[in-house]
Structure 1
């Protein structure tokens, strides 16, 4: 299976459809326009396509000088376990390294082993405001 990685969205609807598949919009409750704005205002975005279907995305938000935060990394449920998320992460790491940014991420506890395989390590306690 040939996967194409790009920095541009094929259509405005495809990112919304992917977030729906991932179940993220049940929590985020974003409109299509809000989601597109989030993508456009990110420091760097990677999209994964199989043929013309958007099957994955990941992005970093950054001040462009010191820190970058990996977020929104997800792969369509039909395509998981094929290294697509790892490749998107590698591409995002590469962009941050070129810019000399300190890359960080927050993840759910069950995802810690996944990111540890890519040389991330637990270094702080994350918190959020309700």
Structure 2
């Protein structure tokens, strides 16, 4: 497998990225919102196999204190290949030098991120637009 890694959003087809999130399955994300999110992220990576988008991820970072990894997705045909771990590891590498590297995940994938060096935090809080959904998914306590 000859995967091409790209670290800029130049020439990304945002509809193709939205479709990747839908089939990953990581939910429905609108192409125009993905464009804003990835464009505003300090670090981003897109993985292509023969021009087909097969993986992506980003880190929203300020350059010194905090880097927040998010939106890591892998095409179903490439899952369980180590590609997701490679994306996370690359974003961590790009984020080195920040005081902290964070992410949030659903409870089902905590073990995966723990295997990549992430530790469960004792204190984290959030405000979600879809609070009921976040509670149902186990992300927020009631």
Query: Partner residue of 1:6?
Result: 6
Normalising by the residue count of structure 1, what TM-score does the alignment of the two structures yield? 0.85
Larger RCO (CA under 8 A, 6+ residues apart): 1
Kept in 1, the 8 Å contact 2:67–2:102? The answer is: yes
Query: Partner residue of 2:48?
Result: 49
Normalising by the residue count of structure 2, what TM-score does the alignment of the two structures yield? 0.79
Q: In the alignment, is residue 24 of structure 1 matched against residue 23 of structure 2? A: no
Which structure has the highest helix share of the two?
1
Kept in 1, the 8 Å contact 2:5–2:47? The answer is: yes
Residue correspondences, number: 126
Kept in 2, the 8 Å contact 1:106–1:126? The answer is: no
In the TM superposition, what whole-angstrom CA distance separates every residue of 1:56-82 from its partner, at most 9, and x where no partner exists? Answer: 111111222201111101111111000
Structure 1 residue runs of 5 or longer lacking an equivalent are none
Shift of 1:22: 2.5
Structure 2 residue runs of 5 or longer lacking an equivalent are 132-142
